Chain A
């Protein structure tokens, strides 16, 4: 994690990085005090977000040049599998796959989709790195134990960390002056998303 946090995109983002990766929601999830309603809200909204993320990654993958295809396509397939996983968890809890997107969730997905289509692929790669690096850092602050151990280990394990390092390598291989701006915008959306799941 230390290695990741020394990357130029994260260092230049300053305090935004901490704001995007630390949240009252996660603290409560870690210490067992999280209200079930807040967890349900997160699950429904994160699922909605992941559906938008799939479209974003699909468009990004289509624009990525051949030598960098494999990790981007593997990431796309991973989101598809993750949607199945979310659908199972929603069904187990009697929650909806059609919950209306909260405006905060919608803004985040709109930002990614607009970036994927209207910006060069290098900029989308920086946003994708932002999405995944934030999740890795946020969930890695917690011990994978308790009722949410499955969720914590999903986004703090070595497999996911390796994917995030690969995404970072892609942003280095394909630099673009607009990457920092897109990366920081992603962090703002992450910060707002965590707040929304906590505050409703």
Chain B
């Protein structure tokens, strides 16, 4: 299946993400809480764009069954945003005041450019890494998480069955709509690079 080929070809970047200091510290519970707060603020900004990209890609589908699947993905993204709203409240983040990092901005602009300008299959290739990577990272971190990890809720969300099911559904739709072509490979790999940069940004911003 195309989604397997894409994942295998980018396993190097998946490994770099899992080995990234941000995720290693999140996994062992030593991540600076301020850093986690910055990350969540950026992720909330990003997720809104992700939601819109689903909407635009769905609107372009010729087959109404595919539109419906995109609608289900939007529901999933809205659920994830609700989880963020909980974090946002407990961490005291004002979402309206979030200033996107250059890495966030680049990722968001990329998703929007794909969603509006390219066919849904290519847009899905740009969106799948976020889902598959988080499922992968969630499971790996859950397997090694120490007791009373302050970030256990975050890990459990992405290690959980519900998130894995949505990630698998996104991959199925990718298989249905995308072709094995350079633009698809390129979008997938660039999205993985955007993911890696996304983990680096909150570590570098110590202001």
Contacts and interface: CB of A to CB of B under 8 A. Distances in A.
B110 A55 contact: no
Looking at A103, A107, A114, the one whose CB has the most chain B CB atoms below 10 A away is A114
Contacts of B52: 118
Contacts of B190: 103, 106
A107 B110 CA distance: 7
A106 B116 contact: no
B10 interface: no
B117 interface: yes
A110 interface: yes
Nearest to A107: B106
B9 to A, nearest CB: 16
Contact of A109 (B102, B105, B112, B113): B113
B193 A114 contact: no
B109 interface: yes
Interface in A55-88: 55
A151 interface: no
Chain A contact surface mostly: helix
A51 to B, nearest CB: 12
A178 B116 CA distance: 20
Interface string A114-144: 1001100000000000000000000000000
Contacts of A109: 113
A110 B116 contact: no
Looking at B108, B109, B117, the one whose CB has the most chain A CB atoms below 10 A away is B109
Contact of B113 (A103, A110, A185, A188): A110
Contacts of B110: 106-107, 110
A78 to B, nearest CB: 21
A113 B105 CA distance: 13
Interface in B164-204: 190, 193
Interface string A141-156: 0000000000000000
By Cβ-Cβ distance, the 7 closest A-B pairs, closest first, are A117-B116, A114-B112, A113-B113, A110-B109, A110-B113, A107-B106, A114-B109
